[in-house]
Amino acid sequence: MAQLILMPGKERSAFKQHHPWLFAGSVGRLEGRARPGDTVEVLADNLRPLGRAAYSPQSQIRARFWTFDPNEAIDDAFFKRRIAAAVERRQVLPALRGQQGLRLIHAESDGLPGVIADQYGDTVVVQLTSAGADKWRNAIVAGLLKATGCARIYERSDSEVRGLEGLTPVTGWLHGEAPTTPLSIEENGVTLAVDIAGGHKTGFYLDQRDNRQLLGQLAAGKEILNCFCYTGGFSLQALAGGAAHVLSIDSSGPAIAQAKANLALNPALPAERAEWLEADVFQALRDFRQAGRKFDLIVLDPPKFAPSAAHADRAARAYKDINVLGCRLLKPGGLLMTYSCSGGIGLELFQKIVAGAAHDAGREARIVQRLAGAADHPVALSFPEGEYLKGLLVQVD
């Protein structure tokens, strides 16, 4: 095994915090040969062993730790253990038991950097985003089959971040064959089709499950505006919760089409209370303001405006913009459910942005609840970057 030897003083985050990433600037030298994804032994400058990591020569994240135990072998059995532990971890929480749509592996936070696995019924979709994860594809598939007993595994490794690792997109069936009927899950009483091949991420935004349920609980009798609705997850929960009217907006035609199809999958829901709009949210909110339209509750769940801290400034302006407009469109006492899934925007900054937005809109507002990703998206304490999704439920006077 090749050895990766760190620069003096650069062992701290690995040794003291067990942070799983080693940046290029921390690495002193590589002794021996290692190809992308190979396991290397990581040593401090004084040659103290720190653990074993996947080497990624093309990425700024030069290595990702698999283990901080210098003697733990990285082999098929390692992946079997880690995957079994991740799957078992989900059973601890009552809210996750029996969910048909469930994130089984949340990458670094489950001790498996670069590995994402989402379960939709008896199908598991994996996304491998790092050179190390890519290398261990077969072991990961074997571990998932063993831990879940699922019928089929599909790979959706077409995320842009693979490019940073020098990896090309890979998609297709890794185990079993495409099901003959469209895939769907039930989430808190609502049926939703999931397009694992063509949808966003692995097909669905499982991280918002609890927040969609909360919307359902808040919806009764309300005029609701759901911005960035994707396939209608929030919208359908609002209808199930007795909303008076739900207007949903997304700029993606296929997403809106899928949202309408999802509504049709739930004949008990009052379809006449749903309105769908394929439009740019930034423009639509301005148009509503012009038209003097008002709502009781507005959901703002935009895409990642800031993939990294480098984009934080521009992203902050975009978040501010939609949140100002959101506040302006609320009736007195209305609720704003507002989110950021940008890794580059921390919770504190997000709260400041929303505070600034309420102020600019000339409204007093208070946080009535803090919102986060569902429990199947755990955040390892050693990896605060894992807490990408943050939200605020704000009441606007």
Cβ 197 to ligand SAH shortest distance, Å? 16
**DSSP structural state of residue 269:** S
Q: Which of residues 170-209 bind ligand SAH (CB under 6 A)?
A: 205, 208
Catalytic: which of 150, 229, 327, 341? 341
Q: Read out DSSP for 220-254? A: TT-EEEEES-TTTHHHHHHHHTT-SEEEEEES-HH
Q: In the chain, where does DSSP find H-type helix?
A: 12-17, 76-91, 131-135, 137-148, 209-218, 233-240, 253-264, 281-291, 312-328, 347-360
Stretch of 113-121, 130-138, 243-251, 361-369 lying at the interface with ligand SAH (CB under 6 A): 243-251
Position among 159, 171, 251, 369 found at the interface with ligand SAH (CB under 6 A):
251
Nearer to ligand SAH, 130 or 237 (CB): 237
CA dihedral 358, 363, 369, 375 (to 10 degrees): -30
Q: Which of residues 216-235 bind ligand SAH (CB under 6 A)?
A: 228-231, 233-234
Question: How would you classify the pairing of strands 365-372 and 390-396?
Answer: antiparallel
Query: Residue 213 is encoded by which pair of tokens?
Result: 């349920």
* Residue 58 lies near ligand SAH (rule: CB under 6 A): no
Give 379's contacts (C-beta < 8 A, 6+ positions apart).
Answer: 109, 386, 387
Quick one: 92 exposed, middle or buried, by C-beta within 10 A (0-12, 13-18, 19+)? exposed
* Cα gap 333→296, rounded to integer Å: 8
Stretch of 7-15, 29-37, 266-274, 278-286 lying at the interface with ligand SAH (CB under 6 A): 278-286
Please choose, from the candidates 74, 202, 70, 50, the residue with its C-alpha nearest in 3D space to the C-alpha of residue 132: 74
* Residue 303 lies near ligand SAH (rule: CB under 6 A): yes
Binding residues with ligand SAH: total (CB under 6 A): 20
* Cα gap 153→175, rounded to integer Å: 5
Position among 247, 255, 274, 335 found at the interface with ligand SAH (CB under 6 A):
255
Let me know if 229 is a catalytic residue.
Answer: no
Cβ 98 to ligand SAH shortest distance, Å? 20
Nearer to ligand SAH, 191 or 208 (CB): 208
Stretch of 30-38, 97-105, 150-158, 298-306 lying at the interface with ligand SAH (CB under 6 A): 298-306
Tell me if residue 5 falls in helix, strand or coil: strand
Nearer to ligand SAH, 4 or 247 (CB): 247
Nearer to ligand SAH, 82 or 209 (CB): 209
Residues interacting with ligand SAH, by CB under 6 A? 205, 208, 212, 228-231, 233-234, 249-252, 255, 280-282, 301-303
**Residues belonging to the active site:** 341
